[in-house]
Amino acid sequence: MRQDSPASIQSRLPLLAIFILLFAVILFFRLWYLQVLKGSYYQELAESNRIRPIKIRPPRGIIYDRNGKPMVENELTFDISIVPEDASYLEESVRRIAPVVKMDQQDIIELIDAARPIRTKYEPIKIKEEASWAEVAVAEARQDDLPGVIVEPEHRRHYPYGGLASHQFGYIGKVTEDQKRKLAAEPGMLIGQSGLEKTFDKFLRGTAGRRMIQVNAAGRKVKDLGIEEPKPGTDLFLTLDLDVQRAAEEALGTRAGAIVALDPNSGEILALASHPAYDPNLFPRGISPADWDRLSNDPSHPLYNRAIQSVYPPGSTFKIVVALAGLNQGLIDPDEKVNCGGSLKSGRRSFRCWKRGGHGAVDFHRALVESCDVYFYTMGDRIGFDQIAQTARSLGLAKITGIDLADEKPGLIPTPAWKLEKTREPWFQGDSFINSIGQGFVLVSPIQAAQMMSVLANGGVFYKPQILKRTRNRETGEERIYPAQEKHRIKLNQDALDQVRSALIGVTTEAGGTAHGAATPLAVVAGKTGTAQVIAQKVPGRKLTESTEDHAWFVAYAPADKPTIAVAVIVEHGGHGGAAAAPIARKVIEEHLKHAGTKNGQ
């Protein structure tokens, strides 16, 4: 075989070099064409033929009452969504899915257009929430004909009792742009927007999971690749007693007002009701503009939690404060009698007693039992309102209680210095008269009134009102207990306390007592009525209603000898406290006493 000579090989090297150079140039231009001119096209094509992670929202933690009865839960539903990037011909996918979900094509297009500015790429757009089983079955069976269309499981928040305890539970809604930054929440996530849903959102929220699917370049699902299960939120066990809460709500009925029931030995909230209420089921699915406008513009303010956010003149329930202030200082002699002729004059003005003919000569016990205004005008003037204000603040008035709900209002306990600063007017004797019976400037919230009665019942111990009893990790079963939080103690003169307690029992049991409607055969109830005038009064946070009927108060604890429940009831424009509020408190107390000591949470 003849071999090429070195000279021959050498002569062909330039041709080989030219060939290699030409190949390199062609390769370079081809790569340039693919990466620069057609790069975006092929990148889009590659992204369209890949694994798609479909986010699965986690089920929020379930909320139970103290005895393990679910009060807020979740329902498994299915949504039909579309991923526009996976729909080769979006209009065609819309045309085909419209009759399946029984929607107009234009409505679906409008949903997609509205979502585009706020969504991330490949984020599904919901076109039918809570789809029927028939709709889900068709959407799944026709995947080849519905590119870009997917079915998503969803755990919907559900409030099985509607408006019951709605102000405590609050509601959830889609995360806002501000919340995305502050809470590091994912787009589209539903988070707590008010009430306990907001306060304990970190517990309740859980961690999202993912469903992995493979799609082809046409956007059609090829197969399911598996599921990364979401981690459910932490379950909450509240201090609320569902039976007591329901009794409170039913007793209040359609009337506006609030009820707070506490365990005086721990501060645990047994019931907390505010009416009018609202249905939180309106919110998880996205409240309609019409429903939101109706709720937010309702003159009765159903979104307002009257138990902690409304403050009212306490009426004659404030006489408890005056009594303790006078007895503690030795300025009230329990045996001293004051003559009530139906009114008491100060300068040119006459201050009337609620009993037109007067009570006659009454000592301390009879004055508190029968709620004699003239007696407390006299004692309030004698004690001085600075001292009364000091006692009121020691009993928790004019201070927030610290309950784990937002926007609690502190109320107001005036002093002569406060009035001079705010009105540029001095404190008159008439101011001492009127404020000593819980009118004038004094403002108290229902939860403060309940806490005050708890302190009387337990002998001076302040607890933070507690609404969370324990939590439970649903995956591990691990529980965390939240014990009672004692805030501080106050020293109450035992003789003074015994005198007041005896009179509070007389209010419900003795002839002439103003709250026979609170009496129950199950236990002796110690309580005090209050009737607060509302003419020319404005409750902060609310508009004046046309009605000028008095607000009706009743505060109590029971059993009187060994209290396990303290209650405060306010019925707006309800009239007399003994007629309107005391029977409501009785129903709440009776429901509690029927089961006291027999329930797991007690």
- Any idea which residues carry the catalytic annotation? 316
Q: Measured between alpha carbons, how far is 355 from 340 in angstroms, rounded to an integer?
A: 9
Q: Measured between alpha carbons, how far is 140 from 22 in angstroms, rounded to an integer?
A: 53
Q: Measured between alpha carbons, how far is 270 from 592 in angstroms, rounded to an integer?
A: 9
* 3-class state of residue 539 by DSSP: coil
**Dihedral Cα 435, 436, 442, 447, nearest 10 deg:** -160
Q: Measured between alpha carbons, how far is 352 from 345 in angstroms, rounded to an integer?
A: 8
DSSP string for 87-127 = -TTHHHHHHHHHHHHT--HHHHHHHHHHHGGGPPTT--EEE
- For the chain, give me the number of helices (H) and strands (E)? 22, 23
Cα distances from 380 to residues 204, 322, 325, 417, in angstroms, run 50, 7, 9, 17
Q: Measured between alpha carbons, how far is 285 from 156 in angstroms, rounded to an integer?
A: 8
Residue labelled with tokens 């708890």:
454
For residue 153, give the H/E element and its range: strand 149-158
For residue 364, report the phi and psi dihedrals to the nearest 5 degrees: -60, -50
Residue labelled with tokens 């309702």:
298
DSSP string for 283-349 = STT---HHHHHHHHT-TT-TTS-HHHH--B--GGGGHHHHHHHHHHHT---TT--EEE-SEEEETTE
Q: 395 burial class (0-12, 13-18, 19+ CB within 10 angstroms)?
A: buried
Count of CA atoms in the C-beta half-sphere (13 A) of 307: 33
**Of the candidates 64, 321, 277, the residue with the CA atom closest to the CA atom of residue 162:** 277
DSSP string for 402-425 = --SSS-----B---HHHHHHHHS-
- Residue 52 burial (CB count, 10 A): 21
Going by DSSP bridges, is the β-strand pair 63-64/70-82 parallel, antiparallel, or unpaired?
A: antiparallel
Q: Measured between alpha carbons, how far is 402 from 226 in angstroms, rounded to an integer?
A: 46
* 3-class state of residue 464 by DSSP: coil
In the chain, what's the furthest Cα-to-Cα distance? Answer: 146
Q: Measured between alpha carbons, how far is 325 from 457 in angstroms, rounded to an integer?
A: 17
